[in-house]
Structure 1
């Protein structure tokens, strides 16, 4: 049977225990008899080889070419072989796959993706004005020259820079005792109040209580309570390390829009005037920790891309294997050559016992078998891709956040392409671009608590804006999102990222908030019966592709 696709060749090589370079796969695809070429390459591979390279393939194909009569000398040279391989690989690219730029919806219709919060950034995520057609053509010519062997290979490992931050794997200290929770919230307060101290001249709660009535005052604290009064005003109680103090937000102050965004346990600053008896603070303004509007993003020094995906859900009856194969097939084409990084934001497998009746929707019922199957699918990704993965709520780790990055047994199963498996959340610095990866369970809570125009499943990136504004990925305690007490609150967004990548809600959405690109990357699972019951219509089979040099993004559809 001919091995007509990139993914099938990768699977066949994996069956023999080998990974493969992209160019090697492309050359094998272009061979007249790809199945025979694979067998020959495997037979002649050095005993100590773990990866099939383009040199291994050329050694075999050149020998085969030399033995065939009538073959011209130009046809047997490596340079011609590369050119033919590229042409044939282009023919195999999925022509029916639409390409979306950042101002398009999943259905392909153009709509404005730039909310008010972007403060003058472009309405979509199209190419920046300084990337003109001429410069793009020059850049493409340079990359084509790379592929034709005129310059060193594009994928030079020495050019790559990948650093992991905020990874708490192996560092958990919490035992669930009351004191652990006190330490977590104290750390949250100290770090977020530090962000707010430059904006207000705050005093501790106990000091404000001693100030004379009518004084101007400001307090920074965690939200201990929010309730409305009979007159339609709002009473917000803030707590710091010295005690609690109430602030009254009058309905005629023009702050109602901000009150709608307040969640329990988040950190706020309130400025105002003390009542005559100094027992309450009449609020004049509210301040969230927020992302500075002047945030300046980083960027790679070369043209290189990262694929942002999440929620693969291998093991589910509805896992979209064909779409995944189309995606990994595309990754082996010359068009995808700049994609050197794959960032996967959780839920690699469907899991077991996650929701009622899930066992009836499983294709693979054993959790370890699910990870074995996921590992096989991950082998279809080009072997020279740098992969970073965090867990999600369907994965075999604790549900409480932060989630450590798997135990040794599951890590050994997913030991493919030297993937880095880190905690949820984690910060990944990729060639100068700081990406905050968070699976996104708290998005459910944000969407449930806030008005629809500020957070919805149809526009999940707006819920992500709220987390950026609060500088915390899961601010509310005791609700839908389980939080594990640690000495350090790993859920605080202390350093402003350039990109915020989440999943979980199975919806595709993206936009910019104060220059931070927020991306929820959809899923690879068709609608399940459970999702139908809760009215979730997933955006499945999409892969946002991020340019790390410009932070422009293209969304590709593979289903």
Structure 2
């Protein structure tokens, strides 16, 4: 059965206000005249039907006269059993807690926008870096060694061509006064009594100290450094060869010549995060307006929705959180979230990653949700992948990362270089370091694995984060960085830590130009 035929059938049914079970779509696509069969099935559906089931199709196909409507709308197979396969567009139908007075959720009415393409020959969505199911870390010493060796080898490889690299032990044995270069992990940063900076670099052979003089033009770069990031330095050895005076400093960085890829047609992606369903402060009215907007002609080119974590508020995430919960059971939170997800038009592709409020491990990288939660969040057959992951939409690569490490970047760097008011500028530093969470042992919980899944080995075209509940976007060396705000108004906890959220916004990216417009629904 051609995939294109199935996609067209799903699109046709969605436009008429119906979802469909997978097996029903399979049988429709295999019919002698799929279009005519769809027409007969739709004409025969009982009033109030939302999902086209397999028995609806079988009843029409088994009719002795293809043009005759089946009698009683019954299941001619004689089976009373209803299939449990999730529907192609929105998953199993459940009572909708978001509906008002029993009204049908917006999604089940189909998309009034029209014009979206469900043709797989036009659309393209690929996932890279999803480590779900590939976690091997046990917390043993060897795991820690492996992850840092992989980080040094991968990011160091981007720097060794820029300096005359020597291992730490080799530098220790060199005569004083010579020129030297080294690539290593930042092991320590401290100031001297004279106001200079002493940076200790570590590689697989040992450590070596580098002195940055306070009056050098690049001394302010020291304020940007985080422990455990990969760095390259060049300089001159002291007379006794016990220390090197820094002349140059290099980061893995995004090349200034980077040219981002773009789609070859006009197509858009909506980038959101931090929905926080289950919180008393979840902005359901704003979400409903967003979902309604996705059904309008203005949103007809929005074919992808990327959600960067914190779908729900979670339970026990911070002190006294239970006092701010509208839904206190974590599984019920995801069930309610799924109902809100159903309001999104069925012909929009959805990709989600977890965040620190979600029911997965806190340590990064975070695998995608377990099977129980995936089954609950079955709407739209959403792609659920790990945090972080790279999603390529029609040639445009989007690095999705929830963004917990942004707290650390903002705390460690001077306010003029990173702040909550401009979260995208904090993202620039992660791009510069080519790592989404470089500092180990700080605020961000990191899991040791056989390889470092948090490296930006390839330069993304778009870097999408959330977590800090602030809206901000800009370009760093032609990489579009977006922090997409949230859908939760200010909680008492946020007031206590002076977080004033940017809530109810949806950044919309033109994938053919990488231009951004922001839709406000609050």
TM-score normalised according to structure 2 size: 0.80
The equivalent residue for 2:183 is: 220
The equivalent residue for 1:475 is: 438
Structure in which a larger fraction of residues adopt helix: 1
Distance 2:224 2:16 in 1: 53
Distance 2:261 2:51 in 1: 42
Does residue 48 (structure 1) correspond to residue 11 (structure 2)? The answer is: no
Deviations 1:62-87 (A, max 9, x none): xxxxxxxxxxxxxxxxxxxxxxxxxx
Which aligned segments of 4 or more residues in structure 1 are displaced greater than 2 angstroms?
A: 18-26, 37-51, 152-158
Given that residues 310 and 346 in structure 1 are in contact (C-alpha distance below 8 angstroms), is that contact kept between their aligned partners in structure 2? yes
Distance 2:405 2:44 in 1: 47
Deviations 1:243-267 (A, max 9, x none): 1000001111122210110111100
Residues 552/38 of structure 1: CA separation in 2 closer, same or farther (3 Å cut): farther
SS at match of 2:145: helix
1:281 corresponds, among 238, 241, 244, to: 244
2:377 corresponds, among 368, 391, 414, to: 414
Does residue 260 (structure 1) correspond to residue 223 (structure 2)? The answer is: yes
1:430 corresponds, among 362, 387, 393, to: 393
The equivalent residue for 1:508 is: 471
Residues 451/412 of structure 1: CA separation in 2 closer, same or farther (3 Å cut): same
Distance 1:552 1:164 in 2: 23
Residues 44/252 of structure 1: CA separation in 2 closer, same or farther (3 Å cut): closer
Given that residues 485 and 504 in structure 2 are in contact (C-alpha distance below 8 angstroms), is that contact kept between their aligned partners in structure 1? yes
1:347 corresponds, among 298, 302, 310, to: 310
Does residue 497 (structure 1) correspond to residue 489 (structure 2)? The answer is: no
SS at match of 2:379: coil
Residues 492/38 of structure 1: CA separation in 2 closer, same or farther (3 Å cut): farther
Distance 2:246 2:298 in 1: 56
Q: How many residues align?
A: 436
Given that residues 545 and 553 in structure 1 are in contact (C-alpha distance below 8 angstroms), is that contact kept between their aligned partners in structure 2? yes
SS at match of 1:312: coil
Given that residues 20 and 383 in structure 1 are in contact (C-alpha distance below 8 angstroms), is that contact kept between their aligned partners in structure 2? no
Q: In the TM superposition, what are the counterparts of 1:162-177 in structure 2 within 5 Å?
A: 162-177=125-140
Deviations 1:277-307 (A, max 9, x none): 1111100111111100000111111111100
The equivalent residue for 2:16 is: 24
Residues 268/383 of structure 1: CA separation in 2 closer, same or farther (3 Å cut): same
Residue 415 (structure 1) shift: 1.1
Distance 1:236 1:252 in 2: 16
2:489 corresponds, among 526, 532, 545, to: 526
Cα root mean square deviation, aligned: 2.3
Distance 1:502 1:43 in 2: 39
Residues 451/347 of structure 1: CA separation in 2 closer, same or farther (3 Å cut): same
Residue 47 (structure 1) shift: 3.7
The equivalent residue for 1:180 is: 143
Residue 25 (structure 1) shift: 5.0
Does residue 364 (structure 1) correspond to residue 327 (structure 2)? The answer is: yes
The equivalent residue for 1:241 is: 204
Given that residues 21 and 383 in structure 1 are in contact (C-alpha distance below 8 angstroms), is that contact kept between their aligned partners in structure 2? no
The equivalent residue for 1:128 is: none
Given that residues 508 and 539 in structure 1 are in contact (C-alpha distance below 8 angstroms), is that contact kept between their aligned partners in structure 2? yes
Does residue 291 (structure 1) correspond to residue 254 (structure 2)? The answer is: yes
Distance 1:343 1:404 in 2: 17
Unpaired stretches in structure 1, ≥5 consecutive residues: 1-17, 27-36, 52-143
Does residue 401 (structure 1) correspond to residue 354 (structure 2)? The answer is: no
Distance 1:153 1:389 in 2: 21
